[in-house]
Structure 1
Amino acid sequence: MLLNANIWKYLTGIILHFLIIIKPLSSQGVSCYKCMTTDPTNDACRDPFSSLLNPIQNDCQATSVGKIGTFPARYCVKITGRVTSVDPNANASYLNTILYYRTCVIDNIMDSTKSLETTGNFRLQGLQGMQGSIRLQGFMSLCTADGCNHSNLLHSSLSTIIISLLLTRYISGFYY
């Protein structure tokens, strides 16, 4: 009977650590870079990308269709392409230039393709207060890890869980 009581104490400790450590991680938005090409001749948003010129936006906030306000984002977005046409209301200086746009979104904007990467023609409207819309031919990708760097997020989360389990085992050792 004493053995079962010790097992329950150990399991309770593990569950408490998971609730304390993992719950706050899941309620925050993903951290993303946010920038847009504003001057094609001096573009800090282009590739190769410098995080020194564009610091990461922690707990990135975005709007959602049909909702008022901003909410924690679930995806980082990168759109790259050549501007093929602009509406009469848009800035015509973007025509035939390479545009880079990085931001965060709540909804999967490529839900219809069931993919996180696509190439083709895109129409973008209302970018950072830009009037009208532009069309570009290029590449769009989504990711769910901070800064679109999958290995760092997985490594951090895994190490946090392992340390938590080891601490639980160490602390529960005092109760035996």
Structure 2
Amino acid sequence: MIWRQKNIISGLFTFFHLYTAVLAIDCYQCSSRNFSDPFCHDPFHPAYKNLTTDCGEGRESRVGLFPARYCTKIVGNNSVDKTEMVIRSCSIKSMDTICGPFNFENVMYTGCISSCETDACNGGQRASPGRASLATIVTAVACYLVTSVKEWM
């Protein structure tokens, strides 16, 4: 009986973690150059922008969108005309947080490029708990329930 309970618990834990691994992240998406979209710039308020759920990104030589794992935010000042650019999006690959000069679309900018791994983390508000945290909580509750059922029998 104990062996069976351990298998059920292991199965639930594996299921929830695999389930959350295939889901894409939710990210804010907007783009603004020279304040063409003032709500994309900081200070950012999520009420003015839509959160893209299950954000996806294309891949070179592939058809369709693939589940993104990171939200991104790029903020920089154009080195030629000094205008500010802000891009909030999602990505399959992590971009380490880098501040300083960078090249974007063959133009030099000075600013920061960053990525994060939790839903809505590229906005200005505190991020909500990720899906993996939710899966862990659900698994813990399932373990408790399985153990409780054993005591009733």
**Common fold: TM-score over 0.5:** yes
More strand, by proportion? 2
The TM-score, its normalising length taken from structure 1, stands at: 0.72
1:5-154 equivalent positions in 2, closer than 5 A: 6-38=1-33, 40=35, 43-85=38-80, 95-108=81-94, 110=95, 116-125=96-105, 133-148=106-121, 152-153=129-130
Identity of aligned residues (%): 25
Q: How many residues align?
A: 148
Provide the rounded CA distance (Å) in 1 between the counterparts of 2:13 and 2:86: 39
Structure 1: runs of 5+ lacking an equivalent: 1-5, 86-94, 111-115, 126-132
Q: CA deviation at 1:80?
A: 0.7
Provide the rounded CA distance (Å) in 2 between the counterparts of 1:55 and 1:168: 40
Structure 2: runs of 5+ lacking an equivalent: none
Q: Closer, same or farther in 2 for the Cα pair 1:23/1:172, shift >3 Å?
A: farther
The TM-score, its normalising length taken from structure 2, stands at: 0.81
Residue of structure 2 in register with 1:168 after alignment: 146
Find the structure with the greater CA-based Rg.
1
The RMSD of aligned alpha carbons is 2.3
